[in-house]
Amino acid sequence: MSQKLTPRIAVYTGVFDPVHLGHQDLIHRSSELFDKLIVAVGINPDKKTFFDIHERVALLKKVTADYPNVEVHPFTGLAVRFVREMGAKIMVRGLRTLSDMEYEFAMSLMNLNLDPDIETVFLMAREEFSHVSSSLLRQIAMLEGELSRFLDPQVQTALLERAGVRRLAQNSPTNP
């Protein structure tokens, strides 16, 4: 493990199925902390995704287009390997709840054992996003609930289309 890693590059890994405003807030805040932020879209073998990896990458590229220091890449395999391949020293993770903290703490210790050069930095979710999860948003979409407070409009449209919802703007102010 002789590759020189830089603490000015960070990698934010996740499944992002779909990317929501909580993820976007974390991306925004991380992009201000590091010279370069790589958003790494991965595959979790324990999760069945709504969108394939290429669709998730495309949605993330759309919602991060205004950030010149943010790149979006797909990855497979161990996150710490991908972080090292990117030359980064920092892995960014978001925390919403105590259960997140327990899971993320265990994962960070395992990652530290797998690659002691990679550090994990945790950012707390803002209160307005602490209850938001992609799985809940998929359920809301399938039941035709209101999503605009949680998703970028482009992501909302894609999610509703994938969920088979015909009335994409059901609760839109322009819809009587």
Q: List the binding residues for substrate.
A: 47, 79, 93
> How does the average pLDDT of the chain come out, rounded?
92
Task: Return the pLDDT at 128.
Answer: 94
Q: List the binding residues.
A: 23, 47, 79, 93-96, 104, 129-135
- Average of pLDDT values for 149-163? 96
Q: Which CATH number fits domain 6-130: 3.50.50.60, 3.40.50.620, 3.30.70.260, 3.40.225.10?
A: 3.40.50.620
Decide if pLDDT at 52 tops 60: yes
Give the angle subtended at the CA of 103 by the CAs of 98 and 138, to the nearest 5°: 80
Task: Return the pLDDT at 98.
Answer: 84
Longest dimension (CA), the chain: 62
Give the angle subtended at the CA of 62 by the CAs of 175 and 141, to the nearest 5°: 45
**Domain residue spans of the chain:** 6-130
List CB contacts of 57: < 8 A, sequence separation 6 or more: 41, 72, 73, 74
Task: Return the pLDDT at 169.
Answer: 47
Task: Return the pLDDT at 170.
Answer: 47
Q: Active-site residue numbers?
A: 23, 47, 96, 134
Decide if pLDDT at 12 tops 60: yes
Least confident of 10-14, 17-21, 49-53, 169-173: 169-173
Q: List the binding residues for ATP.
A: 23, 94-96, 104, 129-135
pLDDT band, very low/low/confident/very high, at 71 (cuts 50, 70, 90): very high
Please give the C-alpha separations between residue 37 and each of 11, 45, 166, 174, in angstroms, as whole numbers.
6, 25, 36, 36
Task: Return the pLDDT at 133.
Answer: 94
Please give the C-alpha separations between residue 133 and each of 1, 7, 56, 80, 150, in angstroms, as whole numbers.
35, 29, 15, 23, 9
